[in-house]
C-alpha cells in the first residue's frame, strides 16, 4: 500500500478518544498516517472543522471517507479487520463489553474533557478539577463493580475487547487529577496487565509524535 493510500488519523497525544482508536489500530496492525491536531489552538480546531464539523479528535479518513467518534471508528475497524476481534462472539459478553466501553466513553470521559474543564474554570478557578474528580470517582466506583462481576484476565473474560481500550485513558486521567486509586483493585489489575501488551504500549500518549505538546 502506498503512503498516499494510507488511512489518516487526526489525533492529539493526550486525547482519551484518540487513544482508544490508536489501541485498536495497533491491535489490528493497521498502518496509518498520524496527523497532529493541537486541541489548545483555536486555529488548529478551526482547520479541523473542515474534516470534522464538531472540531474534535479523533477523525479517521479512509478511502476518502471521514469517520468520527471513537467507538464508531473502532466498530468500523472491527468490521473491516475482523482477524483480531474486539467484540466477543457470545452476545451477552458482547453486550457487557459494549456497556463498559460506553460507561467510560459516554458516562465518564465527556464530563472531564478539555472543553468542559476550560468552561468550568472560567466560572471559578479550580472548579473544573473538583467537578472532574467527582465524576471520575463515581465512574471508577461503578466500573470496579462491573469488572468484579465480568472480568477474567481482561475486562470481559480472558480476551482483549472493546471494553479494555477504554481503561488506560481513564486511569491516565485519574492520575492527572491525583486521585487515590487504591479502592479499585480490579481496575488497577487489568490496567497493569494491558500496559504490558505491545499494542497498548505503542498507543500510549508518551509514544506519539506530538508527545508533550502543551503538556
Fold of the domain built from segment(s) 9-84 = Glutaredoxin (3.40.30)
> 91-200 — its CATH code?
1.20.1050.10
Q: What is the mean pLDDT of residues 6-13?
A: 97
> Using one digit for the tens of pLDDT, what is the confidence trace for 12-70?
999 999 999 999 999 999 999 999 999 889 999 999 999 999 999 999 999 999 999 99
Domain ranges (residues) in the chain: 9-84, 91-200
Which pLDDT score is estimated for 111?
Answer: 59
SS3 state of residue 79: helix
Residue with grid cell 470521559, as numbered in its chain = 109
More confident residue, 173 or 187: 187
How do 8-11 and 65-68 pair as beta strands? unpaired
Q: Which residues contact 194 (CB under 8 A, 6 or more apart)?
A: 154, 160, 164, 167, 168, 200
User: Is the confidence at residue 3, as pLDDT, over 60?
Assistant: no
In this predicted structure, which of 11-25, 83-97, 124-138 has the lowest mean pLDDT?
124-138
Packing angle, helices 127-150 and 167-176, rounded to 10: 140
CA separation for the pair 106, 125 (Å, rounded): 26
pTM > 0.85? yes
Q: What are the C-alpha distances in Å from 97 to residues 29, 71, 73, 164?
A: 21, 12, 16, 8
* Cell (9 digits) for 9: 488519523
Amino acid at each position: 500500500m502506498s503512503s498516499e493510500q494510507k488511512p489518516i488519523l487526526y489525533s492529539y497525544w493526550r486525547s482519551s478518544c484518540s487513544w482508544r482508536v490508536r489501541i485498536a489500530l495497533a491491535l489490528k496492525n493497521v498502518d496509518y498516517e498520524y496527523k497532529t491536531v493541537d486541541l489548545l489552538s483555536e486555529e488548529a480546531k478551526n482547520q479541523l472543522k473542515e474534516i470534522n464539523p464538531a472540531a474534535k479528535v479523533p477523525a479517521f479518513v479512509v478511502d476518502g471517507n471521514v469517520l468520527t467518534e471513537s467507538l464508531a471508528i473502532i466498530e468500523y475497524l472491527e468490521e473491516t479487520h475482523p482477524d483480531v476481534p474486539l467484540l466477543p462472539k457470545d452476545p451477552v459478553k458482547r453486550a457487557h463489553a459494549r456497556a463498559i466501553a460506553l460507561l467510560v466513553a459516554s458516562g465518564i470521559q465527556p464530563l472531564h474533557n478539555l472543553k468542559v474543564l476550560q468552561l468550568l474554570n472560567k466560572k471559578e478557578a479550580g472548579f473544573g478539577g473538583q467537578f472532574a474528580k467527582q465524576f471520575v470517582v463515581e465512574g471508577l466506583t461503578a466500573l470496579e463493580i462491573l469488572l468484579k462481576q465480568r472480568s477474567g484476565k481482561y475486562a470481559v473474560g480472558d480476551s482483549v475487547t472493546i471494553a479494555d481500550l477504554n481503561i488506560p485513558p481513564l486511569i491516565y486521567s485519574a492520575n492527572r487529577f491525583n486521585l487515590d486509586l487504591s479502592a479499585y483493585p480490579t481496575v488497577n489489575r487489568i490496567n497493569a496487565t494491558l500496559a504490558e501488551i505491545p499494542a497498548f504500549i505503542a498507543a500510549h500518549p508518551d509514544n506519539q509524535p506530538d508527545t508533550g505538546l502543551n503538556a
